A and B are shown apart, each in its own frame.
Chain A
């Protein structure tokens, strides 16, 4: 069975600090996808990134970066120079990579509440 663990329940930082959100996953599949979603106070779930199991190259998008390490089953998310608008709950998720149309539901971690203080 798939499992995603986000051990950090809450993190609080001061604006402009860097912060890393941890994600550890378990799966027996050799092919899978990992995701990060953001849930701001307004409640919607916003897609941030998708990474497949074959691509261990780290990715950077503006102030966001992701570190995928298959050897440790981790997919960590770093926000550089955090801003108050980054305050949200961040979810890591995992899904199998079956063919189009097959069951590909997301298994979510419990989320990390990030608070960025001014």
Chain B
């Protein structure tokens, strides 16, 4: 158990809908990262937050947005869903300094868009 929690574990929805994925980082970790794992794109970085502020953006679509709240949990919002958005979405967190850059991943949320 990495200490990172993600809910829900599975999500099935229809095209055009909007969903919210939730992530709680490990205790003490200030950085949260979101990744998407799909069959055609592999594991891709989407976005990073550090202590409530956006720090980096990767291949994140404009239909997707995220935020990190004062209690450090993060939410990834996916809207106007398309079939191609079906994927496993991971959240990861990392410590501040000291131990370097290792990221600890949550169990993922499997999104199926029908």
Contacts and interface: CB of A to CB of B under 8 A. Distances in A.
Instruction: State which size class the interface on B falls in.
Output: 20 to 34
Contacts of A102: 50, 55
B12 to A, nearest CB: 16
B56 A105 contact: yes
A11 interface: no
Contacts of A106: 33, 35, 43, 45, 92, 103
Q: Tell me the interface secondary structure of chain B in the complex.
A: strand
A105 B100 contact: no
Nearest to A50: B102
B103 A47 contact: yes
A71 B92 CA distance: 31
A100 B97 contact: yes
Contacts, number: 71
Interface in B1-42: 2, 30-31, 33, 35, 42
The dominant DSSP class at the A interface is loop
B48 A50 contact: no
Contacts of B88: 43
Contacts of A64: none
Interface of B: 2, 30-31, 33, 35, 42-45, 48, 50-51, 55-56, 58, 88, 90, 92, 94, 96-98, 100-108, 110
